[in-house]
Amino acid sequence: MMISTNRMTWPNFERLDQGKLVEQLTEQKEKLLHKPYQDENDPMYQEELENSKLKLKKALRELKRIVKKCERIGNSLYYATSQLNYSRENLAERLFQNGPSGTSLNSYVEFLESNRDFVEKIYESLTLQLSQQSKSE
């Protein structure tokens, strides 16, 4: 039940796609600017160039938004991973009555993952205790 901290989450894929779009739009704009024998006063050319600039500006804004989103998700993921590791250590300590080392913690987690009945019984026991506590209060 390990949570992957792989940085290639969906916003990163979105960022890659948006980055490619920005590159393509930049190339389109550059081609228009360097189009041979183009009359700069031609209204069709001006409109095409303006549309290209607007698309590029919009794509850059979207890329910036996605990058900020990735940063927020990255920070949240780091915090969640830290909390998960802390909780795992506490769970192992409470279940096995000793402060776990990194190696023993992993073996405890493997034990818990491979013994679903054991985990279900712990969950049932905790649920029963909580319901009894709430009834007595």
For the segment 31-56, what is each residue's pLDDT rounded down to a tens digit?
Answer: 777 775 566 777 887 888 888 888 88
3-state helix, strand, coil in the chain (%, to 5): 80, 0, 20
The predicted pLDDT at position 5 comes to 40
Q: Which residue bears the tokens 């998960």? A: 84
The predicted pLDDT at position 10 comes to 52
- Which tokens hold the place of 58? 């919009």
Contact 127, 15 (CB under 8 A): no
Mean pLDDT, the chain, rounded, equals 75
Using DSSP, state whether 100 is helix, strand or coil: coil
pLDDT digits (tens, 9 = 90+) for 74-121: 888 888 888 887 887 777 777 766 655 656 767 777 887 888 888 888
